[in-house]
Structure 1
């Protein structure tokens, strides 16, 4: 439970020992007040410590920190026409505006401060604005004086009325309302407002007390619209829900208490009655025979028992007000009423202390000062924490616009270029640029590898009967990602090309070649058929690397420029970078096309590598071809024993060696082409899967920073004849950031001022 809800928060330890004031005592002490300003006669009974605590909270409120911290405060609530205004007049010693129907239509804050003579009595009327004309809360509340300082009490009522009128008519200049005499009836007047009138009253005959009079709760739509009912109730709740708010609950004795919404709200937010002080008003209107029902409240025997009890006061009625009753006369009549009326006169002395305005105010002063004393250490800690958080929030805002925006922007561009260079060169983070590109490069390599020709050294008619094992002589060169080496038939992934198909193409292409020769165009056509497939994977890789690089670069742009000014520099830099990257992308595509053109015609200087693998592929294909042609003969020869060959006069030869003397099958040319094309692919694909990523990296990745340090300032125009004006425009701070900075700065200033006040006692 918060400190404001603990039982000892509002309990005055001296309350039980203070004797109730008799009628004569009350009258005599009232006369000592001279012109009778509110509670001056109660002031002398307050101890030095109590007065100091109340004064400290008033000074804290002057700093405005109640916007940020829950300061102890008294909120006066009640239904409309419950007698709140008369009670406030009795406490403050000032006359409030009165009108038929709704009276208080915006809160009125009273801050009473005692100052020693010979200081003059004075009243400062201000308007505290917390919402705009549409009801939307402002980021920072405004407290603006309304007129000059008042030294004549008779002028206060009119000034308050005009201040209320100004609050309810925000569309009219306040100066016009302050000096004008005409009533406002243009149909745009608000019925209620959460903005409020603030009265700061000080003088030698003024008590130390602070409270806020809230608009009376509306009982039905006859007294206000449904919207007005919700608005006033929400306003009252915003005050009384705070743990440090003392609820001064006014209940009129002329209406059943259970029908008074203020009582129900108080019970909702203070169900145990720990921080509520009840006040019965208009006891002179109690119906005959019902007195005891109301006396039970003062005895604290009702359904809603309060830690600090119920009080009963009597204020001037309508006829007395019309006759111009003075404050002193009103106090005398109140004393006479409780002295002469049997229901109240006959109460035990222990309950007499809960009758009369004087006793109520003294109790309120004690409750408020006790709460302040308990809350001060907590307020100090809360204030220090808020100051720390506010400084932290300010530090997180972008730097304020400098006096030399050109130098700032130039430095930012240089810093951005340096950081970009490091990113493009490569950094050791898992999500860095090169790490994000590498999977695409690996996928590209696999795609190119899959275009290898799938030659089969047997006729197509035997396709269902033949399998070919993996090229084991490539095991040391191929990545594990490219092959499943346990598969029985996966030499290549493309469509099979059978030896009879190759031979047919040789015959179709033959022109003037000698019978032992075959046309070169056959090999060339096979190679071009392969390299034609390399264009799409290359362009896909280029597109993916472009988008990945652009994404990283634009994120870098945001990190460096987003918090500068209103974001204009970031937007313009972003556009320039995107155009620059697009140019690099187009240049890279041109370079890829150039590399693809190079592969259109077969060429290699890597003769040893090519011939070595041609021999290996030829032997591989021929071994399968020979096995198919002479399978039965091979089986018979392998069954021959060497001894039988010796008997036939054949020595030094194994049976299987006789296969070499068998005639060829006429497909030697086709086997040679198959071996040559497959060997050339091995040469070409390896250089191609290096060249394309290397070209993309050179032209687009690392090429992204090429000339950028010169292009950015040039395109931004910051070094041109209008450079200074352009820089100032780019450096303009966003309205949101400026407003946030102003709000936090004002908040910090409020808290510094509050901390300075607190430092006087800590």
Structure 2
């Protein structure tokens, strides 16, 4: 059955021009692609206070006969899409649900689709739409009296034009029994959503029989279109004004009243319901309108601002210029949105439908992990994007961080690694040896020289064996060293903990860098964590072995040990001789002559012999202390190097890239692959939606550049 479309002898054709048709065809085409759901496109919007005559004005502009029942068409936005075609004719009604609807409601409303034979079926469509939207009074007694869902009427045929026009619910001044405060807020929000778009031409309908200052549509239009660049005032119902007030309406129409619009006002006299019911034709409506305003000659109205023909011609030019102005920005916004969508698709990663796809996906991730980690431990920071953002809290330069930690460890061991540190004269006395129990505190003690000597002598007496006086048991040096180095275990463990924390943080940074999906990131982290725990255990065991080695009998073949012993003995001998020399001066009556004669040399030797008195036990303790200091220096340096090389480097740093290597991915079973990185259904849907939108955007850009 052929679709019957009302021929528009003076309506739609009045808006038609070759240039505007070409532009409108472009806008309509990208609207077909669904771009209008993401970017505002040029459109005409009819709005005003309730019962201001919006639907009648829209009918006269579009030629589509809307129902005359009060409140029917104004319960929800009605979007009229007109597509000119000489090949096919159809009228299709659909519903676009608001994003606030629940998913089941969206499915229900989107499922509505009805093909109309002619516009006489339009009232039934509006009734069905209101019922599906669950508007109060249409099958339900509760709920809102208005809906933000859009009834879309698509007309394809010999309309003469591609155009989109929207009729919005009328603005409500005060609540009543049928319309609540919630209803008022809903209508206000809905209308604002349309008006705020800079690509909406606002057709503000005002009633001649109501003071314009009391009609909120002008005020609301000015809120979003302060300069009046895209607002057209349409004055309706001039036949209902009181006699003698025509001058006030004429001043408004001529833009001479206090309320002015840059685009001005138009006067319309719509046919009455009785005239429409009598079958008044469109041409008769136009002649009746012109005859009505012929009695207003004394007010000198501008003919270009009176009647539907003048309005249609004006809108033709205005809409054409508006589209020409907005199209460049539409192109830029489409390009920007396409860039954003492409970025979102990139962030989703590769499509993963089979285990082979997943394996390839994880293999690429593992290569990125391996390469970045290897570069970080090699100190090769040439990947500017990853390494450039390194900072103290989020460092990506792992080798530099490890060097820093090892350096701090070495410095701390040198300065504070020993249990007892000899205070120099300038340092304050922070407490005697007896004040702190090293077994409980584990803190370094600052002690005076005599306290060190007392400690050595105490251990000396506890370790006496069969050695002769002046000698000390080999156990003495061992016990002194073990006690002096007792803090090494704590310090080394703290260093290992710091390195592990730094390394774990680095791994997290890399995972955040290479993996966008949180679920995949979490499961890959589990793989890495399990292998990292093995490395931690191996490092802890290696450190424990080093500690055990240090608790054995001291052993070294480092020549620095003997050099340190010789230097200590020389320093001790020099100090004894200096003290003795001070006493020798008294034997020579305050004068000491050191000559090469045998007599003077003999006198000096005798005096020194009398003054250098050696206590055998003190001598043994002094030798033991010198041995301790010499061995401690050598052992401490060796221990620091061993911790850095054998614990940190061997077990933590060197094999870090292997925590998530391509070899690990290749060994995963299909079940593990699916568990780790299967693409979630929501992501598949998102990918399909984004891919479709991206293609539509590309098609839109291509169409706009043709």
Question: When the two structures are superposed, what TM-score results if normalisation uses the length of structure 2?
Answer: 0.82
Q: Which residue in 2 is equivalent to 1:398?
A: 349
Alignment of structure 1 residues 447-596 onto 2, 5 Å: 447-449=412-414, 450-452=416-418, 496=449, 497-499=451-453, 502-503=456-457, 505-507=459-461, 509-560=463-514, 562-563=515-516, 567-596=518-547
Question: Which residue number corresponds to residue 188 of structure 2?
Answer: 233
Distance 1:296 1:82 in 2: 19
Is 2:48 the partner of 1:78? Answer: yes
- Tell me what 1:66 maps to: 36
Q: Which residue of 2 aligns with 1:12?
A: none
For residues 630-649 of structure 1, the aligned pairs below 5 Å read 631-634=582-585, 639-642=590-593
Which of the numbers 341, 360, 377 marks the counterpart of 1:408?
360
How does 1:402-441 map onto structure 2 within 5 Å? 402-403=353-354, 404-408=356-360, 411-412=363-364, 415=367, 418-419=370-371, 422=374, 425-429=377-381, 431=395, 432-441=397-406
- Alignment match of 1:326 (pick from 279, 284, 298): 279
The match for 1:701 is: 653
CA distance in 2, matches of 1:209, 1:311: 21
RMSD value over aligned CA atoms? 3.9
Secondary structure, counterpart of 1:650 in structure 2: helix
Q: Is the Cα–Cα contact under 8 Å of residues 254 and 285 in structure 1 kept in the other structure?
A: yes
Q: Is the 8 A contact 1:267 1:304 kept in 2?
A: no
Alignment of 1:184-333 (within 5 A): 184-187=138-141, 189-204=143-158, 209-222=163-176, 224-318=179-273, 320=275, 324-326=277-279, 328=281, 332=284
* Kept after mapping to 1: 8 A contact 2:580/2:612: no
Deviation of the 1:83 alpha carbon: 0.8
Once the two structures are superposed, what CA deviation does each residue of 1:433-485 show, in whole Å capped at 9, x if it has no partner? 232122332232233333458698xxxxxx99x799xxxxxxxxxxxxxxxxx
> Which of residues 123, 136, 139 in structure 1 aligns to 2:91?
123
CA apart distance, 1:341: 6.2
Q: Mean Cα displacement is larger for which, 233-242 or 505-514? A: 505-514
Partner of 1:749: 695
CA distance in 1, matches of 2:337, 2:446: 69
Given candidates 147, 156, 175, the residue that maps to 2:113 is: 147
Residue 217 (structure 1) shift? 0.7
Whole-Å separation in 1 of the counterparts to 2:187 and 2:218 = 15
Q: Deviations over 1:311-367 (max 9, x none)?
A: 12122445556xx24351x7635643552567535453x623322223222322222
Residue 642 of structure 1 aligns to a residue whose secondary structure is coil
Displacement of 1:628: 4.6
Shift of 1:753: 3.3
Is the Cα–Cα contact under 8 Å of residues 253 and 282 in structure 1 kept in the other structure?
A: yes
Q: Which piece of structure 1 moves more, 216-225 or 300-309?
A: 300-309
Sort the Cα spacing of 1:570 and 1:290 in 2 relative to 1 into closer, same or farther, 3 A. same
Q: Does the CA-based 8 Å contact 2:233-2:261 persist in structure 1? A: yes
Is contact 1:39-1:358 (8 Å) kept?
A: no
Q: Distance in 2 between matches of 1:689 and 1:346?
A: 107
1:383-423 Cα offsets, whole Å, 9 max, x none, are: 44544554454344422225423531562475267437625
Cα displacement (A) at 1:578: 1.8
Secondary structure of the equivalent of 2:244?
coil
Using a 3 Å threshold, how does the CA distance of structure 1 residues 706 and 166 change in structure 2: closer, same or farther?
Answer: closer
1:444 aligns with 2:409: yes
Q: CA 1:749–1:703 in 2, change beyond 3 Å: closer, same or farther?
A: closer
State the alpha-carbon separation in 1 of the partners of residues 218 and 294 from structure 2.
27
Q: Deviations over 1:522-580 (max 9, x none)?
A: 323212211222211111112112222222233334444x33xx544432221232232
Equivalents in 2 of 1:598, 1:604: separation in Å? 10
Q: Tell me which residue corresponds to 2:668.
A: 718
Distance 1:683 1:399, change over 3 A: same
In structure 2, the partner of 1:49 is 19
**1:282/1:521 CA distance change after superposition, 3 Å:** same
Where 2:93 maps in the other structure, the secondary structure is: strand
- For 1:577 and 1:95, how far apart are their aligned partners in 2? 69
**Alpha-carbon distance change, 309 to 123 in structure 1, aligned in 2, over 3 angstroms:** same
Q: Deviations over 1:20-62 (max 9, x none)?
A: xxxxxxxxxxxxxx99644546627854334444444333433
Give, in whole Å, the separation in 2 of the partners of 1:378 and 1:424. Answer: 45
Partner Cα separation in structure 2 for residue 188 and residue 355 of structure 1: 44
User: By how many angstroms is 1:294 displaced?
Assistant: 0.9
State the SS of the aligned residue for 2:599. coil
Mapped partners of 2:699, 2:596: distance in 1:
119
What residue ranges of structure 1 are gaps of 5+ in the alignment?
1-33, 171-182, 457-462, 469-491
Instruction: Determine if the alignment matches structure 1 residue 659 to structure 2 residue 608.
Output: yes
Mapped contact 1:38–1:91 kept (Cα < 8 A) = no
Separation in 2 of the partners of 1:236 and 1:264?
13
Pairwise CA distance, 1:248? 0.7
Report 1:88-167 matches (<5 A): 88-101=58-71, 103-116=73-86, 122-133=90-101, 146-167=112-133
SS in 1 for 2:695: helix
User: SS of 1:573's equivalent?
Assistant: helix
Displacement after TM superposition at 1:734 (Å): 4.2
Q: Cα–Cα, structure 1 residues 500 and 144, in superposed 2: closer, same or farther, change >3 Å?
A: closer
The answer for the alignment partner of 1:21 in structure 2 is none
Distance in 2 of aligned mates of 1:606 and 1:434: 32
Tell me if the contact between 1:169 and 1:190 (Cα under 8 Å) persists in the aligned partners: yes
Q: TM-score, normalised by structure 1?
A: 0.77
1:361 and 1:498, CA in 2 relative to 1: closer, same or farther beyond 3 A?
Answer: closer
Separation in structure 1 between the aligned mates of residue 327 and residue 704 of structure 2, nearest angstrom? 8
**Equivalent residue in structure 1 for 2:679, among 710, 723, 733:** 733
